[in-house]
Amino acid sequence: MSLIRTGARLAAALLATLCGHALAQSEQVMPEVKVQGNAERADGPVQGYRATRSSTFTRTDTPLSEVPASVTVVPESLMRDAAMQGMSDVFRYVPGVSWHQGEGNRDQMVIRGNSTTADFYVDSVRDDAQVFRDLYNLERVEFLKGPAGMIFGRGGAGGVVNRVTKKPVFDHVGGASVTLGSYAQKRGTVDLGNKWNEGAAWRLNAMIEESNSFRRGVDLSRYAFNPTVTFALGSSSAFTLGFEHLYDERTADRGFPSASGLPVGADRSQFFGNAGQSRAHSQVDGLYGILDHDLGSGLQLRNTTRLTYYDKYYQNVFPGSAVANGTLALSAYNNANERTNLFNQTDLTRTVRAGGLEHGLLAGVELGWQDSANKRNTGFFGPSTSIAVPASDPFAIATSFRPNGTDADNEVRSTIAAVYVQDQVTLSPHWKAIAGLRYDRFAVNFDDRRITTPATDLSRTDNGVSPRFGMIWTPAPGSMYYASYSFAFLPSAEQLSLATSTADLGPEKARNYEIGARWDLSRALTLSAAIFRTQRDDVRVADPLNPGLFVKTGQQRTDGIEIGLQGDVTPRWQVYGGYAYLDGRVTKAVSTGTTANAGSIVPEGNRIGLVPEHTFSLWNKVRLRDKWAAGLGLIYQSSSYTSFTNTVKLPAYGRVDTAVYYDVDRKNRLALNVENLLDREYFPTADGDNNITPGAPLMIRLTWLAAF
């Protein structure tokens, strides 16, 4: 492990030196043009707010008009205009996706009724550690909805999110931003790049931020940098080498407890627990290389290797019960995780004609190795693991943290091997099809290091086959219709965790049936729609009444409709939004099967937690006269339950955001963003029945953006 960290730091130092040298050389030549990065180049995959191409679904650069699936692309321009800074901001504008609290220490989403911390990818490589991610170095964020086993392997029951990072573009790139916001927020970013010569180019993205919060005792500090270099190796090859370092430290905020089936009535600034003893920090060091090579005769090779080290720790004192008779119980624990991911992907693509048809062929191999060390300690309040406190003064000090009973102390190693093939075939000028198949072997060894409880070493190997099929009909230019089927399998050790209660459980299975359409309402405005059923069988979910144990719900299903609209209504009016109707329910009732709660039933028909029936979001940007522009964001979420118990409900809410932009000149812009303009009180998300997140009050951010 120390060798990996040392190598990563040496690579970072080397890349920083190279980029610094290139920057010094480029200071003498600054073209008088405004370049905002390859996300907005006229020939790029995103033009303004409207995406035209994606590789997340197919692993090949494919027009969205030939993708038989629901794909939502959030571009850099929207993230910038709406002042988005984290993944939770992005989730708000993606139909069918909602934000999960993630215990206040990680990114987590609910996508088509499936809650996940593992289905995050960066440049199509697994990025499954439980950390917070920033947007500073992203060209776009792509959401593929529906099981994605054929492309991404294990997991992805409801879909995946893929962050696409900025790369060198063999042209000048120069940009920076400084943000000052409510609660002492201070944030700065920089995006620099140029070419050394015709054979090499570089790019550097960096970010730093500090902020307090409307929540008492809550703060945030983070920074990151991501240098990349690309070398043209002759006329047929290119190699990109990059490194990212990210550090994030913040208060782990678990929010409000419930009372009588709703969030407890309290000032939204009230911290339930102990903010001083609730800290989370994470460090991510990622080294990656991408080789593109033209083998001739139309055969293209891409090899991607990514080595990432994650160091994560969090500790919290938080609500462990609902409020009853004016009191609640507080609980505490801490958890440390060190994880190393090493993945290598090799793709071969070629377009051929056979049998009178055109085929876009893909064949690939993925090899991976993951090592994850975990250690958890329980917090004690004197001799007890919980303490009763008045809801009016919900504060307590945990006197010690130490192993207790079944607290984790383990190291988990996994090996992954997969092969996959895919054919994108043109059947006629109006009909196309896509078919693919992937085989995965996922082996896990669990080394139990506990001393307070008899240690139990475990292992499990799962083999899975993931098919996918889709048909596309294009009756006329600017309109397409599709039908598709996709599958994914979820091993019991999917998230590198194994226990005696799960080691004998076979994989869960996820299936998606979908029909959809895309219409170009004009040359720059696209409307999309999808009707789907996402079904998950043999489901395991955490028992909210018995932490550490699992509930077998048997089957859950989400039936839904998604509608998206992106692009230019007029040359001066840009829009980005969507609507989703989701009916997520337990469709096969079973006994919980837990010792402490044996015999109880998860009733058929119970709704899945954090799946509102209706969500709507719409961001508008209007170019006014002269140098002025304005933005207006509308967000609505109907009521939802905090968990499958259906005993605590998050009320429906609506929120209005707005922005005003002023172009000082061709290279400088001022942006004033206001979040929750009407200062509504609301609860957007939760983690179980008694950790409910209050929404932020009216927030203001003033940002200076410069191009140079």
Q: Which residues pair with 650 in a beta bridge?
A: 640
The three-state DSSP-derived secondary structure of 332-344 is EEEEEEEEEEEEE
Q: What is the mean pLDDT of residues 442-452?
A: 89
What share of the chain in percent tops pLDDT 90? 83
Q: pLDDT value at position 526?
A: 97
In this predicted structure, what is the pLDDT of residue 455? 75
State phi, psi for 64 to the nearest 5 degrees.
-65, -20
CA distance 408 to 329: 23
Radius of gyration of the chain (CA): 25
Please determine, for residue 506, whether its predicted confidence score (pLDDT) is greater than 90.
no
pLDDT tens profile 292-332: 999 999 999 999 999 999 999 999 999 999 999 999 999 99
**pLDDT value at position 454?**
74
Q: Is the pLDDT of residue 237 over 60?
A: yes
The predicted structure's pLDDT at residue 239 = 98
Does the pLDDT at position 168 exceed 80? yes
pLDDT of residue 625: 84
Q: Strand (E) positions, 589-684? A: 590-591, 601-602, 614-623, 628-637, 640-641, 649-650, 653-665, 668-675
Provide the token pair at 374: 């975990």
Q: Residue 494: is its pLDDT beyond 60?
A: yes
List of residues 6+ apart from 37 with CB closer than 8 A? 76, 139, 166, 169, 173, 175, 191
Would you say 621 and 613 are in contact if contact means Cβ atoms under 8 Å apart? Answer: no
Structure tokens at 318: 């938080």
- Within 10 Å of residue 383's Cβ, how many Cβ atoms? 6
Task: Please check the confidence at residue 12 and state whether its pLDDT lies above 90.
Answer: no
Give yes or no for a contact between 290 and 306, defined as CB atoms under 8 angstroms apart: no
Q: What's the rounded mean pLDDT across residues 404-419?
A: 94
Who's near 476: CB < 8 A, 6+ residues apart? none
Task: Using pLDDT thresholds of 50, 70 and 90, give the confidence band for residue 3.
Answer: very low
Contacts (Cβ under 8 Å, ≥6 apart) of 15:
227, 228, 229, 241, 242, 243
Q: Write down the pLDDT at residue 41.
A: 45
Least confident of 59-63, 545-549, 663-667: 545-549
Asked if 159 contacts 122 with a C-beta cutoff of 8 angstroms, the reply is no
Query: Among residues 658, 671, 661, 673, which one has the least CA distance to residue 626?
Result: 661
Average pLDDT over residues 257-274: 97
Chain segment 512-539, per-residue pLDDT in tens = 999 999 999 999 999 999 999 999 998 7
How many percent of the chain have pLDDT more than 70? 90
Strand 120-122 to strand 159-165: parallel, antiparallel, or no bridges (unpaired)? Answer: parallel
Does the pLDDT value for residue 467 go beyond 90?
Answer: yes
- Could you tell me which residues come within 8 angstroms of residue 341 by beta carbon, excluding any fewer than 6 positions away? 126, 127, 128, 129, 306, 307, 308, 310, 368, 369, 370
Minimal CA–CA distance to 521: which of 575, 565, 578? 565
| H or E element in which residue 88 lies | helix 87-91
Mean of pLDDT values over 686-707: 97
Map out the domains of the chain as residue ranges: 2-265+272-396+407-707
- Burial (CB count within 10 angstroms: exposed 0-12, middle 13-18, buried 19+), residue 413: middle
Q: What's the pLDDT band for 550 if we cut at 50, 70, 90?
A: low
The answer on pLDDT for 38 being more than 80 is no
pLDDT score recorded for residue 8? 42
Length of the chain: 708
Report pLDDT digits (tens) over 644-696.
889 999 999 999 999 999 999 999 999 999 999 999 999 999 999 999 999 99
On average, the pLDDT of the chain sits at 90
Q: What is the pLDDT of residue 600?
A: 54
Average pLDDT value for residue range 431-460 = 91
Read off the pLDDT of residues 94-130 as tens digits, 9 standing for 90 and up: 999 999 999 999 999 999 999 999 999 999 999 999 9
Counting runs of H as helices and runs of E as strands, what totals does the chain give?
4, 46
pLDDT of residue 120: 97
Secondary structure letter of residue 696 according to DSSP: P
pTM of the entire predicted model: 0.91
Nearest by Cα to 37 from 196, 188, 192: 192
Inform me whether the pLDDT recorded for 53 exceeds 80.
yes
- 265 vs 16: which has the higher pLDDT: 265
> With 50 as the cut, is the pLDDT of residue 338 above it?
yes
> What is the SS3 assignment for 24?
helix
| pLDDT in the model for residue 19 | 38
Residue 234: pLDDT band (50, 70, 90) is confident
Enumerate residues 6+ apart whose C-beta is below 8 A from 26: 172, 194
pLDDT for 547 equals 56
One CATH from 2.10.25.10, 3.30.56.10, 2.40.170.20, 3.30.450.20 for 2-265+272-396+407-707: 2.40.170.20
Tell me the pLDDT tens digit for each residue of 612-640.
999 999 999 999 988 999 999 999 999 99
Residues 489-511 as b/e (b if ≥16 CB within 10 A, e otherwise) read: bbbbbbbbebbeebeebebbbbb
Q: Is the pLDDT of residue 194 over 90?
A: yes
Question: Does the pLDDT value for residue 544 go beyond 80?
Answer: no
pLDDT at 101: 97
Contacts of residue 525, Cβ cutoff 8 Å, sequence gap at least 6: 50, 565, 566, 567, 568, 569, 575
